[in-house]
Structure 1
């Protein structure tokens, strides 16, 4: 797994690390029991502070994505289906909020948005 950071993204570096590693875990790119780079190694590779990588790992651990074992490193935990659902719901909410914001700028109303959503869902075979 490769982590790519952007200083111009407007998102804190620790958050970018957390989102990319969390996304890789949710997508299955990082499997259960996979070892993550050490905090020091990741900080060195990304040329950032150990404090930044430590915060990202601490938040991933608090959310149940990884476990850190002193002296051994960080490992991917088995996915909790409730956790996965919550993360996916959060992504849907963020996407819908972006759509609502764009609709406001475009002068669309609720019915217009519902019509667009219905059209998109009907275009997807599993939603038909």
Structure 2
């Protein structure tokens, strides 16, 4: 089977910075990081990210995630799209299914920003 990659939008890695406690963020850095934090501020999206990261093989299909929520499949897909668009998830279309995986580099940047030195 041939893998097909589907890209919805250009995704920019956060190429982050020093921890908040050592150097103030520039306007540009804050502008790149704020959408990531905003996406994660939603409990459904935060849980989706966690479920995908913890899923066997580090990736999950929408069909693997539906039963974890009392939400419709289109609503779950909307939340996944939001996480993908801000650069927290990668997506891979295989036949009729879309598989998501966490962009660990983006999470590492956020961890460095928030956790460093606190």
TM over 0.5: no
**TM-score under structure 1 normalisation?**
0.40
**TM-score under structure 2 normalisation?**
0.42
Instruction: Give the helix-richer structure, 1 or 2.
Output: 1
Structure possessing the higher relative contact order (Cα contacts under 8 Å, 6 or more residues apart): 2
